[in-house]
Amino acid sequence: MIDRLQKILSRHGIASRRGSEQIILAGKVFVNGKQITELGAKADPECDRIEVDGKLLQTNAPKFVYLLLNKPKGVMSTCDDPQGRKTVLDILPSQYQHVYPVGRLDYNSSGALILTNDGDFANHLMHPRHHIAKTYEVWVKDIPSSHIIKQWQEGIVLDGKLTLPATVNILQIEPKKYKTPRTQMQIILSEGRNRQIRRVAEQLGHPVLGLHRVAIATIPLASLKFGEYRLLCDLEIKTLCST
C-alpha cells in the first residue's frame, strides 16, 4: 500500500512519526536507490526497496511491542549515546533491541519509562494535547514553605510561559539524618517540558536531590525493581491510547 514514508517508518518501528521525519530530513532514507529528503515522498513497502541508514526495511511490519521499564539512574533514555554511556537498550535483552523510548527521563533520574516499536502509539503519548499525567517522587533540599508549594501548584514561568497547574504534596521530611534537611514530595505533571521539575525546583530555591518517576497515567511501576521491565497488557495499552 502506498503511503507517506514517515508513516511507513513509524509502522516498522524505526522511530515515532516525528522522529521518522527527522530521519528523512537528515538524508538517511533511500527508496529504490534514490535519497529522499522531502517529507511528502511516498512509497509502497511491498514493492519499493526502502533503506534506512543502509539497512533494508523488511516487507512486513514487525509485531508491536510495548514495555514498561524501571530505568535506573545513570542510564540514558535513548537508543545510543555519542559519549558511550549506557542506554536503556543496553539493559534490555536482544529480542527488544528494535524498540525505542517514548519521551525522555534524565540521565540522573530513575523510574517509569515506556518503550515501543509502535510509532503511532509513541506519537500519541508524546503529543502535548493529550496531557498524559506522570507521577514523581522527588527529594528536594530543605523544607518548602506552604507559599512555595502553592506557587508550584499554580504554575511557574519557564522560558516565558507559565507551567500548567500541578499536584504537589509533601510526603515526608527528614531533618535529622542530614546536615541540611530534605523533603520528599509527590509531584504529578500533565506536561513534560525539558527538565521541568528540576528547573522549577531550582527556581523556587529547593534544588532536586533525587527524582524517581513512579507512574505514567494510571500505570504504576509497582514491584518492578531498577533495571526490570514487563510487557504492558492490552488494557493498559488501550487506556494509554484513549487518554
Which stretches does DSSP call E strand in the chain?
Answer: 3-4, 29-31, 34-36, 42-43, 50-52, 55-56, 66-71, 100-101, 110-116, 134-141, 157-158, 161-162, 167-174, 182-189, 208-216, 219-220, 229-231
Query: How many beta carbons lie within 10 A of that of residue 122, not counting itself?
Result: 26
Is 156 exposed, middle or buried, given 0-12, 13-18 or 19+ CB atoms closer than 10 A?
middle
List the CATH code of the domain at 3-56. Answer: 3.10.290.10
C-alpha cell at 71: 530505568
Q: Which of 48, 106, 159, 234 is catalytic?
A: 106
- pLDDT given at position 61: 66
Q: How far apart are CA 57 and CA 77, in angstroms?
A: 24
* CATH topology agreement for domains 66-128+219-242 and 133-216: yes
- pLDDT given at position 124: 87
pLDDT block averages, 10 residues each, the chain of length 243: 85 78 93 92 89 85 89 93 92 87 93 92 85 95 96 94 96 82 96 92 97 96 95 94 82
Domain positions in the chain: 3-56, 66-128+219-242, 133-216
pTM given for the model: 0.78
- pLDDT given at position 218: 93
Q: How far apart are CA 60 and CA 176, in angstroms?
A: 60
Query: Is 106 a catalytic site residue?
Result: yes
- How distant, in Å, are the alpha carbons of 1, 49, 50, 139, 220 from that of 12? 14, 14, 11, 40, 28
- Topology of domain 133-216, per CATH? Alpha-Beta Plaits (3.30.70)
- Topology of domain 66-128+219-242, per CATH? Alpha-Beta Plaits (3.30.70)
- pLDDT given at position 147: 97
